[in-house]
Amino acid sequence: MLESYLVDWREHCFIQRGQQPRGVQQYERVVRGFFVWIEEKGFSADPEKVAKDHITEWQRSIFFEHGNISNRTRASKLSALRSFFGFLKYSGLIDIDPTKGIPSPKIQPALAKKFSTEELRMLFAAPDLSTHMGVRDLAILKTMYAAGPRVEELVNLNSHHIHDTGGYIRLEIIGGKGGKSRTVTLRTNPSRTLREWLLLREQIDSESQGIFIGLRGEKERISTRQVLNIIKKYAGFIGIESADAFCHKMRSTFASDLYDSGNDKCPHCSHPIHYVGLLEVQAQMGHEDPKTTQGYIAISDRVLRKTAIPDRRFREIEEEL
């Protein structure tokens, strides 16, 4: 019965909700793990007999027996169960959703991190451009910074997702988070770097359609783990700690720097010029909720300058002394 329910739920996630395979697989692992736990505790593994108390006890077990994992991880696990049992209730397969009314662990928002200008300068100078691997790696680093793709979106880029105008290159990012797609423009510098890799890529015999491929063995599409290793490799070369080098940090840097690239007003005539606002950054990041984007631009120089108490206020205060 459980297997039948899981098959129907997966189809619902794929077809009706448009969720990506990787996310559904992660959710399925959580649900299967929950039912393994149910059986180990001697409870019925029949989804129709799962009660709220079982899920509450499972949450306590996760907290106390598995190293007090983070609120974010426990919230994600509960979300997987909500999706599964919510589908069963929606489909009329169970009468009561046992996850209903269970509060999700509170997640404290973490301040986004970004690479500094000097760190970016050294990262871009690190690859050895006399080798195919160096050209590929620099193209990966610059594409991540210039376009801000999620690492899964980067590795899934295929040749037909590249639209080269001869000047700028536009990347068509298909099936991002939530099944949404978007188009991102690379300016002259990153376009030139990516174009150099594409010329080499055409000469490499590979059955993969991926833009970025491994250069050893079967020359398959590069993995998310390999992209992380590339960032850590060059970060290590320039003295950045491994813990401070991760894929999402490049995406955060893209969002912050994209917002900083805009100006609210001309310093001479006060007219708006080259305006880049929250909605523009949100569209390029592929975010559904602008609140998500706010966390990225909160670390931008433009926001930090605008939200600082100006010197004129201190002059007003001190002139009264």
The CATH class, in words, for 117-304 is mainly alpha
Residues 280, 52: Cα–Cα separation, whole Å = 43
pLDDT of residue 296: 81
Q: How confident is the model at residue 177 (pLDDT cuts 50, 70, 90)?
A: low
pLDDT of residue 231: 96
Enter the tokens of residue 168.
């700028």
**81-90, 112-121, 216-225, 258-267, range with the lowest pLDDT:** 258-267
Phi-psi group of 239: left, alpha or beta (phi > 0 → left; psi -120 to 50 → alpha; rest → beta): left
62-73 CB burial, b ≥16 within 10 A, e <16:
beeeeeeeeeee
Percent of the chain with pLDDT over 90: 51
Residues 244 and 235 sit within 8 Å (Cβ to Cβ): yes
pLDDT digits (tens, 9 = 90+) for 192-212: 999 999 999 999 999 899 999
- pLDDT of residue 35 exceeding 90, the answer is yes
Q: Which residue has the tokens 């999706």?
A: 83
> What is the DSSP secondary structure assignment for residue 162, as one 8-state letter?
E
- pLDDT of residue 84 exceeding 90, the answer is yes
pLDDT digits (tens, 9 = 90+) for 250-302: 999 999 998 888 766 666 676 766 678 887 888 888 888 888 888 888 888 88
- pLDDT of residue 174 exceeding 60, the answer is yes
Amino acid identity of 222? I
- pLDDT of residue 321 exceeding 60, the answer is no
- pLDDT of residue 30 exceeding 80, the answer is yes
pLDDT digits (tens, 9 = 90+) for 212-258: 999 988 899 999 999 999 999 999 999 999 989 999 999 999 999 98
Q: How far is CA 36 from CA 44, 46, 58, 63, 242, in A?
A: 11, 12, 11, 17, 35
Strand order in the sheet with 162-164: 162-164, 169-173, 182-186
Q: Which residue has the tokens 């050209």?
A: 135
Q: How confident is the model at residue 320 (pLDDT cuts 50, 70, 90)?
A: low
Enter the tokens of residue 57.
């006890």
Residues 67, 72: Cα–Cα separation, whole Å = 14
Q: How many other C-beta atoms are found inside a 10 Å radius of the C-beta of residue 85?
A: 23
Q: What is the mean pLDDT of the chain?
A: 87
Helix 21-40 vs helix 52-65: angle between axes, to the nearest 10 degrees?
A: 100
Name the nearest CA neighbour of 76 among 138, 144, 143, 29. 29
pLDDT digits (tens, 9 = 90+) for 124-161: 999 999 999 999 999 999 999 999 999 999 999 999 99
- pLDDT of residue 99 exceeding 90, the answer is yes
pLDDT of residue 20: 76
pTM here is: 0.70
